[in-house]
Amino acid sequence: MKLIKLACLMMAFLLSSYSFADTLMTFSSELNQTRFQSLAKELRCPKCQNQDLADSQAGIAKDLRIQIHEMIEQGKTDQEIVDYMVARYGDFVLYRPKYSAATSILWVGPAAFLIIGLVVFAGVVYRNKKRRAGKAL
């Protein structure tokens, strides 16, 4: 099943002359490092097939990692960093879509399914009870 389209990895390696080596990042605090790791997992590499920034070897992913690192160390909040990325690359880079009228179904859907499911359950059980009562008579 997994015939892999390698475009992303290929790009990364064939063009490795262009990408600056991932400079090893140092963080002023453990919290900053955790923030970096979780942000890199929340954001999608805009050039790749379907990879987050943390996993991608593409040049642009490295640039954006460096950007995130810088912004964290400058004391920017997570929200500011996310807004920065969205302003440049669009909502596409968010792996967790922002809540809006257009994404409401996505966010409310699972809870709605669950509620509908529980109502159906109650309904089936209730009808069964009625039928049982009918049989008992």
Contacts (CB under 8 A) with another protein, residues 6-25: 6, 8-11, 13-22, 24-25
Decide: is 2 part of the binding site for another protein (CB under 8 A): yes
Alpha-carbon dihedral angle through residues 39, 44, 66, 90, given to the nearest 10 degrees: -100
Query: Looking at beta carbons only, is 1 or 75 nearer to another protein?
Result: 1
Distance CA 20, CA 63 (A): 8
Q: SS3 for 98?
A: coil
H or E stretch at 126:
helix 104-136
Among 31, 34, 55, 80, binds another protein (CB under 8 A): 55
Q: Interaction with another protein in 57-116: which residues (CB under 8 A)?
A: 59-60, 63-64, 67, 86-97, 102-103, 105-107, 109-110, 113-114
Amino acid at 126: Y
Out of 27, 32, 47, 76, the only residue in the binding site for another protein (CB under 8 A) is: 47
